[in-house]
Chains A and B, each alone.
Chain A
Amino acid sequence: MLLGDRAKYVMLVGGLTFATMLMTQQSAVFFGILKWTTSHLSNMRAKLWIVDRNVQQANELKALRDTDVNRVRSVTGVAWAMPIYVTIQSAKLADGNFKPIMLVGLDNTTLVGRPPVMLQGRLEDVRLPNSIILDDLGVQRLSVGRAKPLGLGDTFELNDKEARIVGICRADRHFFGYPYAYSTYTQALQFAPKQRKMLSLVLAEPAPGWTPERAAKQIEIETGMKAYTEDELFWSTIWWYFRNTGIPVAFISIIVLGFIVGTTISGQTFYAFVHENLRHLGALKAMGASNALLARMLLVQSLTVGFIGYGIGVLLVTAFGHAVLGRGEPPFMLPWQLPAATFAIVMGICCFSALLGIRKVWKVEPAVVFRG
């Protein structure tokens, strides 16, 4: 019946497609932003992160004393601990402009905190004087004004010092949109202006037989510094953005709006469809169709348009994701749980819409068909 009523069918499918798109796409962009806020974790990777005791999230590092790395190394339950220097520095472009980059200084010997994926060059070459490993976003950003994109062996100016590219890597994008550049710890200190305290954080590994949680606790007890496991820092960062920025509220508002729009459009349209067809439904009831049969019929019709609307919506979001992931922005992350949750919500909306109609049909007397 519903599929034959073109106008309402298109309206319902359109409404549910729109709701699916709004909920899934906005959630995916929101998740993408949250992922960007934790890019340090995915780009440096360690089981234990030791920072100043007041640090609550990965992007707000307060400098430690150089000696703090040795204090961590001395803690029972720590297998190893390496210093990391993280700073935002300005790189000069060929056209004279400047672009900020996220400079990461790795332990000279072990290169702990190294880039996740090397695309070109050798990681070990970062130990050569004035060497930098730049991520692909950095190549794109710093190539502005050049005849051809930056490549291995090319140089650029970083704080009035020459930096030579010895490797190109792939790294997750930072929340602020800065490219990542890796160097050794001592070399990074040369690139950056001198400050009293230069150590940003310490990456560590628990000793055999120690869980990261237990080792973190021990570090806190013995050093007074804050020690996070990778998981703890991830969620601490996420929650920090929830508490301290309007980003979640903005996105959640739009997601809720999508839910309300979907519910309103489909609920109203489906109710109107039932209302307009009440005589026919009453006739079916007179012919012996039970309430349960009519309820099943309405539910199947509602869920059918739900499936179609959801399918089209998710398809469009996937196409959007495919397009933006190629460009690298806006942020987009679509784990399977997200379309699954949207599916459950859309089906919930359809069940609710059907329920409105079922309630109406349930009450209708079959004798209604005899009233002129």
Chain B
Amino acid sequence: MPVSATSASPLAVHVRAVTKTFGTGEAAVPALKGVDFNARQGELLMIVGPSGCGKTTLLSVIAGTLNFDGGEIDVFGSPLHQMKPRAITEFRKRNVGFIFQQFNLIPTLSCIENVSVPLLINGASRREAEQKAETLLKQLGLPGRGRERPTNLSGGQQQRVAIARALVHEPRLVICDEPTSALDKDTGGHIMELLRDVARHPDRSVIVVTHDNRIFKYADRLTEMEDGRVQRVHGQGGNHDLSE
């Protein structure tokens, strides 16, 4: 059932005083300097800011793909800061879907095979995985293209396949890294509408890192980062003016 997140919606992601430094000694570069951040269930939240402000690093630590030095992160009640690497991998496998800037579809596999990958990693049979993948591709407007290689599709179609791959195992958290940067305005708009629909789920949250101010209007909230810290959070409403 589609829902829209409100300030009363339960928290999906809760980040407290998270720090992360790359390198050591004189070469040390602090990427996150005590970040506090929340994302709610049923919400599409965007993290924006200039290059090098730490937004991709924040996305990586929330997704459990990068270790952080200090602070606490809870994702749907699971404390990542207390979990061992193997448990985090297991958590990611079941609960996180990824949409990447360059789609990252495996070019030598068909679209159906690409979409099946998360299910196969989760132990589903090939037949079951491919059936689910085919159904989802149909729902996302790609009927009959499942047996094709991703390289035969347009950028927008490839991103739809990537969205299908991110959703096929029904994750609770969907992580998107610059999902529209490789797409034109109209296609990017269609993709964002799709992601907004994905976020309208009571038990799901979508976090998008982007530079693309054309898509800010699709966010429920905008988190603005600068120099490794969250500077501002812009509330709901669909019109987010970051010119201040």
Contact = CB atoms under 8 A, between A and B. Distances in A.
B187 interface: no
A288 B122 contact: yes
A274 to B, nearest CB: 13
Interface stretch (B70-78, B105-113, B190-198, B216-224): B105-113
B107 A288 contact: no
Interface stretch (B34-42, B87-95, B140-148, B225-233): B87-95
A167 interface: no
A369 B56 contact: no
Most buried by B among A3, A5, A286, A366: A286
Interface residues of B, number: 28
B121 A370 contact: no
A287 B93 contact: yes
Contact of A366 (B59, B65, B121): B65
Nearest to B92: A288
A371 interface: yes
A365 B66 contact: yes
Contact of A370 (B56, B86, B107, B108): B56
A283 interface: yes
A141 interface: no
Nearest to B94: A288
Interface of B: 56, 59-60, 63, 65-66, 86, 89-90, 92-94, 96, 98, 100-102, 104, 106-109, 117-118, 121-122, 177-178
A288 B90 contact: yes
Interface string A342-372: 0000000000000000000000011101111
Contacts of A284: 117, 121
Nearest to A9: B108
Contacts of B66: 365-367
Contact of A4 (B89, B108, B177): B108
A33 B119 CA distance: 57
Contacts of B108: 1-5
A182 to B, nearest CB: 65
A170 interface: no
Interface of A: 1-5, 277, 279-280, 283-290, 293, 365-367, 369-372
B106 A286 contact: no
A279 to B, nearest CB: 6
Nearest to B110: A4
A230 B144 CA distance: 73
Given A1-B108, A284-B117, A288-B121, A370 B89 contact: no
Nearest to A8: B108
A287 B101 CA distance: 15
A369 B90 contact: no
Given A367-B65, A367-B66, A287 B118 contact: yes
B168 to A, nearest CB: 10
A372 B101 contact: yes
Given A284-B121, A288-B121, A293-B121, A369 B98 contact: yes
B167 to A, nearest CB: 12
Contacts of B107: 4
Given A284-B117, A287-B121, A1 B94 contact: no
Contacts of B92: 286-288, 366
Given A287-B118, A370-B100, 4 more contacts: A1-B108, A2-B108, A280-B106, A365-B65
B174 to A, nearest CB: 12
Output the residue of B63, B106, B107, B122 with the most chain A CB within 10 A: B106
